[in-house]
Structure 1
Amino acid sequence: MTRSKLSLLSQQDHKYKVLEKEYLKMKEEMVEMKTMKDEMIEMKALMLSYLKKQTEPTEELSNATTSVLKRLNIPPMPSPSIINNNSQTKCKLLDWYGSGEIVTEGRWSSNDPTALVHHVPIGPHAIRVWVDVAKKSNAYLWRPTSEMTCIEEALGSTFAWPSDKVIISDEMESSSPED
């Protein structure tokens, strides 16, 4: 065997070792990606189950809606009551995941299921609200959009919130038009 053949074999052996390391690294990354994919599928199923729970009417939700309608002097069902443009009706929003913490203060805009928030209907059991004050600015929105995902990003804008997590304030902001 000549020196040149030994050198060539040595170079090839080195290349194989480099390729083998790259292969093992890629194999590890593929396992990680599969794990992440499985976790995302599980998270999607969990989110869908939460959304399904949100759209199913409950006795608690019915009681909350009745309470809101009484405070606003609106007749109860059977005729569907839709409240639009109540920008002077102050409200507080509880976190949507159930801790009971007030995350923001704002103004009731509409509970019409066809009312739009960033071109998307709010749907049943939801209220469109204006955000005035962020009490917990990093709290996540119930239905994030491409423009906003947390309360802080929604200041001065409207978003949808579950109606059973909205508390109507007893104080009403006085509206005095200025000329």
Structure 2
Amino acid sequence: MKGSKIAVLMLLFLLILPLILADDDYEEDRAEFAGLAEVGFVLITIGVLFYSTVKRTPFMDFRKGKISIAISPEMPFLRVRAPITPLGVHQILAIVGSLLTVPHFLSCQDYTTPFGITGLLLGVSLLIENVSGFYGRYLHAKIERLRVKVDNPLLKELLKKFRLWRKLHITWTVIMYLLLALHVALAD
């Protein structure tokens, strides 16, 4: 509990510090905040790629446990144990990365240009993606609690919802990255 409070305070500090240090020059602010947004999207991308790779590769076994790294000549070649699950890494990096994009989003003063419109759509898309992630986390936790009962009809229903959610979440992630590519292409 104490660690999560410290993490929240650090996130707030990272989010608020650039706003405090900002001066009245809009172009400089936009450039400074663009750097934060870039770091944010790098973190989000690392979280997405890390989770996708760990879940789908036969070469790595990443599990929650006492910290250890072992290389083996047998499959999986790499066995990693850490105090957090791959899903937890994905969630933390996505949330921190999203928070780092907020100052850049708030620094925009003109949403009527193509650059501004794509930025606005990207901000909304990122918000929807995070809300979707929290909903998926809720479904996942509920499924894990019900998994002990094998023939539970509610479990089957939740698994159907989870599969649909996962398809939508992945699709929305692709849309978000397409918007990001368009936004960057329209930057002056």
Same fold (TM over 0.5): no
After TM superposition, the score normalised by the length of structure 1 is 0.26
Larger Rg, first or second structure (1 or 2) = 1
The two structures have a TM-score, normalised by structure 2, of 0.25
More helix by share: 2
Name the one with the larger strand percent: 1
